[in-house]
Every structure is written in C-alpha cells, then in structure tokens.
Amino acid sequence: MRTNRVCSMEVERKILSLLHGHKTRKQLPEIHAHFLRQGLHQSNQILSHFVSVCGHLNRMEYANRVFCQTQNPNILLFNSMIKGYSRNGPYEESLSLFYLMKNRGIWPDEYTLAPLLKACTSLGDFRPGQRVHGEIVRVGFESFSAVGIGVVELYCSCGRMEDAKKVFDERSDRDVIIWNLMIRGFCNLGNVDTGLHLFRQMSERNIVSWNSMISCLAQSRKDSEALALFHEMLEQGFKPDEATIVTVLPICSRLGAVDVGEWIHSYAESIGLCQSVVSVGNALVDYHSKCGNSETSIKLFNEMPVRNVISWNSMILGLAFNGKGELGVEFFKEMMDKGESPNDATYLAALTCCAHAGLVEKGQELFALMSENRHVDLKLEHYGCMVDLLARSGYVRMAYDLIRSMPFRPNATLWGTLLSSCRTHGDVELAELAAKELINLEPLNSGNYVLLSNIYAEEGKWDEVEKVRVLMRMKSVKKAPGQSAMG
C-alpha cells in the first residue's frame, strides 16, 4: 500500500515537472494523456496546475473541457479557473465560476478574490465588482493586501474615486501600489491637483510613482511642472527606466528643452536602451525629428535592430515636418517593400509628406492604395490631408469634389483650407461657397463673416458686403478686435 502511494507521488512530481518545465509545458495534450493513463484525471492538485498552465498559455477552452469532466473540484481548482479567465477572458466566466463554487458550499479565500476583482475591473462595470466587495467584507478578507489592491483598482478604473478613497482611508497598510492606483485614478478623471497632493504625501515612492505623476502632468499640458518633477526624481536618486524616457522626451520637444533631451539620449545609450527597447528608439526618433534633427533621426532609425509600425510612422511624419516629404515617401515605399503593414497613421504620415512636398500624383496614388486596403479605414484626417494637397496645388475644384464625396460631414478646418486656396488661386465662386459653409458651421465666429465680406469687396460687390453686415447684426455677431474692416 505504502509502495503504491510512493509511486503515485513520484508520478505526480513527474507530471508537475513537465507542466512547469520551460520546454515541456506547451505540450498540454501529451501531458493530459499522460495523467489520464496514470488515473490522475480526478486529482485536484494535478488539475489545478494543469489549468494554471492553460491560463498562462491562453488555452482556457482546453482548461474548461478538463474542468467540466472533474467530479469534485476543490478550492484550488476553482481558483486556477477563476484566475485563468481573469487573465484571458471572457471575464464573466470568473464570476460564474465564483457563484458555482459558492453554490457547492466551497468558501473563497484571498486567492479566489484577488483575480475575481481583476476580472470585474476588466469588465469595466463596478456593479458586479461592488457585489464581490460585499462578499469580501462578509467573509473578512478585506485586510489581505492583494484583495485591498484589487478593490481600490476596481473603483479607480471605474472612476468611482469616492468609493476608492473610502477603502484607501480605511487601510492602515497602504503600500506603494495602492498609492499609485489612487494617484492615477484621480489624474485620469482630470483631478491632477489631488493626484499631486497624494503624491506629495507618499512616504515611499517607486519609479512607477514618478513615471505616473510625470505622465499625468504632461497629459494635462503641465509640461513645465512635469519636467521639474523629472529633475526632482533624478535629485532623489531614482534612475529613469524606459517608461520615464518615453514620457519625458515628448515633453522636452514641446518645451524645447534640448539639453535635457540630449542628456536622456546619452543616458539611454549608456544603458543600452536605444537598441534593446523599441519604444525608446521610437521616442528618440520622434524627439530628434521634432527638434529639427532629421539626420540624427534617420541615423537612429537605421540603427534600430527591431522596428514596429510606430517606428516607421515617427520617421515618415518627422521627415514631412522637416521639409523632406519626398524622402518620407521613399521611406513609405521601403516599408512596403519590406512587407511591413502600414496602419491608418502611416498613410496619414505619407499623405502629409505629399502635401508638404506638393506631390499630387503620389498623394492620389497613396489615397487610392489606402482605399483598397481592407485593413485600414479612411478617416476624416486622411480626406483633410488630401484636400490640403489638392487645394494648395491649385486643384481647388478637385478638392471641392472630394469634400462632397466624403462619407463624413466636412468640418470648419476643411472648408477653411479650401477657402484659403480658392483666394490664393482666384476661384471667387468657390471661395464664396466655402465661406458660406464656414458661417453655417460656426455662426458666431466673426472671422468667417469678415472673410466672406472681403471676398465680395475684392469683387466690388458692395450690396453683398452690406448684406453680410446686416446678417451679423441679426445674429448679434461682433467683429473681433484686429480683424480688417469690411468694405
């Protein structure tokens, strides 16, 4: 009897080593067949580990088939299933399993509740999460760190900051993770001052705390404060990581803080991030492009061992804004030749190159190519770029026809682009039409009336000028200071 038990334990150890072996864990059908042959298909220990590996490999359909054949699943197996669905979805399945577990008289533990809260957070609906929170309070697990973090994360992600703060204030063991969640929660709702106030109250911070606060300030257009906080971070001995670099470089380009940007570039090179982290390489390409250093951008781009679509987009758009549209189009062609898949932002960058360089035929070719690409959707921005290219190049009637053919409602920017080009190229009739469209879109913008009045004045249509004046009075539109007088 003892010999059989020892053999059984050895078989279990062998199966567990296969499940957690780096090379063997992906061979799930083979491992499954192995423990079926050994009669271990009802072993909760083996099954919980098997399901856990399925969760890591996003094989939850397989895990569910195995689970459904289990006669008496215990807390370990239920926890593995709940965690697997909380990681991969469908997230509702975690909740269904939780209620099934309760119906079977199995009490949850902290290893049930933390992933269950994660599933509720991923659902983006606080109501099922609130019910789970009620269960947590009833069974007395709210003091567990992972559970507390899960509750705060749930409420923060759903914008329920009053609920989050109540849980936060009740906890005596507030670790840095919970502080970071609270700061990000307030900042995501636009309450950056409260986020910064909490940040200042922290007795312990990690690099995530600094990155999160700097990023929130930057997103709220508080670039100077964000850069000052970055300097403070360095003074306190924290070393920037890739997230810091990707966050701070755009701030440097917007503020023109070239010295800081150059320091970050040198630092990233010194610790090998330029070559090893694609997002850092992308950020540096973008930074140097925006600072007008297209030669450096090209050099960095060419040295990147791995590129993604963002790398190409940053490079192509950077060339457009540095007056090198033709070269940008060449990069787009190179991207296509290498078999890379452009996205809508890539096409927009390439069209911007054409618009800046006046490459009408190339722009039309790209626009047609994009229209044929089933994986990319034409957006208003693409039409706007094409209208700009055609209108600026003197093809104002073609630009007008394109506006009329759009599946979107034209905005003021499009009509303004057309109007400007019509006046430049002397198409008074179309200019008048564009100005009227602008007035319909922005009836209280006095500048639109001034533009229309000036068009009439240039043609000597003084009766029409007077009509515009009367229309302004009827609509109580006042001419803004600094605008040229009509007539």
Output the pLDDT for position 5: 46
Question: Measuring CA to CA, how many Å separate 482 from each of 57, 130, 292?
Answer: 65, 57, 33
Distance between CA 133 and CA 110 in Å, rounded? 12
Distance between CA 161 and CA 155 in Å, rounded? 6
Distance between CA 109 and CA 91 in Å, rounded? 19
Mean pLDDT in residue range 9-13: 76
Q: Is residue 43 part of a domain?
A: no
Distance between CA 299 and CA 295 in Å, rounded? 6
- In b/e form, how buried is each residue of 231-242, taking b as 16+ CB within 10 angstroms? eebeeeebebbb
- Lowest model confidence (mean pLDDT) among 335-339, 350-354, 415-419, 479-483: 479-483
The DSSP call for residue 256 is: T
Is 0.85 topped by the overall pTM?
no
Structure tokens at 182: 């609270």
Residues 71-119 pLDDT 10s:
999 999 999 999 999 999 999 999 999 999 999 999 998 899 999 999 9
Tell me the CB-side half-sphere exposure of residue 378, using CA atoms within 13 A: 19
| Mean pLDDT estimate for the chain | 90
Q: Is residue 468 part of a domain?
A: yes
Cβ neighbours, 10 Å, residue 330: 14
Q: Is residue 69 part of a domain?
A: no
Residues 138-161 pLDDT 10s:
888 888 989 999 999 999 999 999
Residues 42-61 pLDDT 10s:
888 889 999 999 999 999 99
Q: Is residue 413 part of a domain?
A: no
Q: Is residue 146 part of a domain?
A: no
Question: Measuring CA to CA, how many Å separate 59 from each of 48, 85, 91, 262?
Answer: 14, 10, 14, 46
Question: Measuring CA to CA, how many Å separate 165 from each of 162, 186, 282?
Answer: 5, 10, 37
Q: Is residue 477 part of a domain?
A: yes
Give the confidence band of 179 by pLDDT, cuts at 50, 70, 90.
very high
Q: Domain of 478? A: 443-487
Helix (H, G, I), strand (E, B) or coil at 164: helix
pLDDT at 3 over 50: no
Mean pLDDT in residue range 126-146: 89
Q: Is residue 390 part of a domain?
A: no
The pairs formed by 311-314 with CB atoms below 8 angstroms and a separation of 24 or more are 311/278, 311/281, 311/282, 311/285, 312/340, 312/342, 312/346, 313/343, 313/345, 313/346, 313/349, 314/282, 314/285, 314/286, 314/289
The domain tally of the chain equals 1
Q: Is residue 464 part of a domain?
A: yes
